[in-house]
């Protein structure tokens, strides 16, 4: 292993890519190296309670390379990250993945995740926060920020500020605000790729369930489908205000 210390941050490895190549042992080595080069004094590897076949194939080899690593449960992933430890989360299931998205501070975490196929929300969150893919060291493309028009970025940020944490974007004021915002932007000629806006929502700190709901609203607005909302939440001059703020970005 390299005698180096890396910078903290978000990292991930797409496990099935390595399975398809028959290179699970190599992938295990990259994960062990990530732990060995940790800039933090505490290092943890988190497993599920039941222990999947993939975990049982990978964990012993990692521990053999990194005997000073503590072993914990994926259900404690958020609290373990919050202690400041370097955390390797092996194959988190859906509930844990959502907790990571909703509660981990990407600006201070040192977290590496082994991804299963189908965990698109977790991968989007990682990409939104410039996660590094192992072993290439490539940082996720951040071009989505500039591809989303500045006015749209301002509007999405303002909608997030009034979102109720309980109902999110599914009901109430949060739904009214985001739907009316998307409709106004669309009717005013502002265009963007739906996934780019979802990535930007994650960048702003939107929760997983709210980004999923946002994606549904975007699709329906782009198809000019009716969405029932309450009273208007937008001032008559709000577009002009967003445009003025966008010039400052």
Instruction: State residue 20's pLDDT score.
Output: 80
Q: Which domains does the chain have, with CATH numbers?
A: 10-139 (3.40.50), 146-246 (1.20.1290)
Instruction: Please measure the distance between the N-terminal and C-terminal CA atoms of the chain and give it in whole angstroms.
Output: 43
Strands lying side by side in the sheet with 86-89: 70-73, 43-47, 86-89, 110-115, 10-14, 132-133, 138-139
The pLDDT assigned to 166 comes to 64
Q: What is the pLDDT of residue 227?
A: 95
For residue 196, pLDDT beyond 80: yes
Q: Could you report the per-residue pLDDT of 10-63, keeping only the tens digit for each? A: 999 998 888 888 888 899 999 999 999 999 999 999 999 887 888 888 999 999
pTM tops 0.85: yes
Report whether pLDDT(3) > 90: no
Average pLDDT, the chain: 93
- Main-chain dihedrals φ then ψ at residue 230, nearest 5 degrees: -85, -150
- Residues 27, 13 contacting (CB under 8 angstroms): yes
Query: Kind and range of the H or E element at 13?
Result: strand 10-14
pLDDT value at residue 2: 44
Which tens digit of pLDDT belongs to each residue from 67-123? Answer: 999 999 999 999 999 999 999 999 999 999 999 999 999 999 999 999 988 889 999
């Amino acid at each position: 292993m390299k005698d180096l210390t890396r910078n903290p941050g978000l990292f991930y490895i797409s496990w099935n890519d390595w399975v398809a190549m028959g290179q699970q042992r190599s992938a295990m080595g990259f994960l062990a190296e990530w732990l060995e080069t940790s800039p933090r004094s505490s290092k943890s590897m988190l497993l599920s309670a039941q222990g999947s076949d993939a975990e049982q194939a990978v964990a012993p080899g990692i521990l053999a390379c990194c005997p000073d690593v503590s072993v914990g449960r994926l259900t404690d992933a958020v609290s373990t990250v919050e202690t400041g430890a370097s955390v390797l989360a092996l194959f988190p299931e859906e509930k844990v993945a959502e907790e990571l998205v909703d509660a981990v501070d990407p600006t201070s975490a040192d977290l590496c995740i082994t991804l299963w196929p189908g965990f698109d929300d977790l991968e989007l969150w990682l990409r939104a926060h410039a996660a590094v893919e192992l072993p290439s060291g490539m940082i996720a493309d951040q071009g989505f920020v500039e591809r989303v028009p500045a006015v749209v970025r301002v509007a999405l940020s303002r909608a997030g500020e009034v979102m109720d944490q309980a109902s999110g974007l599914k009901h109430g004021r949060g739904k009214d605000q985001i739907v009316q915002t998307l409709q106004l932007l669309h009717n005013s000629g502002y265009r963007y790729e739906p996934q780019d806006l979802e990535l930007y929502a994650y960048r702003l700190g939107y929760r997983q369930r709210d980004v999923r709901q946002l994606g549904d609203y975007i699709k329906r607005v782009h198809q000019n489908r009716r969405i029932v909302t309450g009273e208007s939440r937008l001032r008559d001059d709000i577009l002009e205000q967003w445009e003025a703020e966008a010039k400052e970005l």
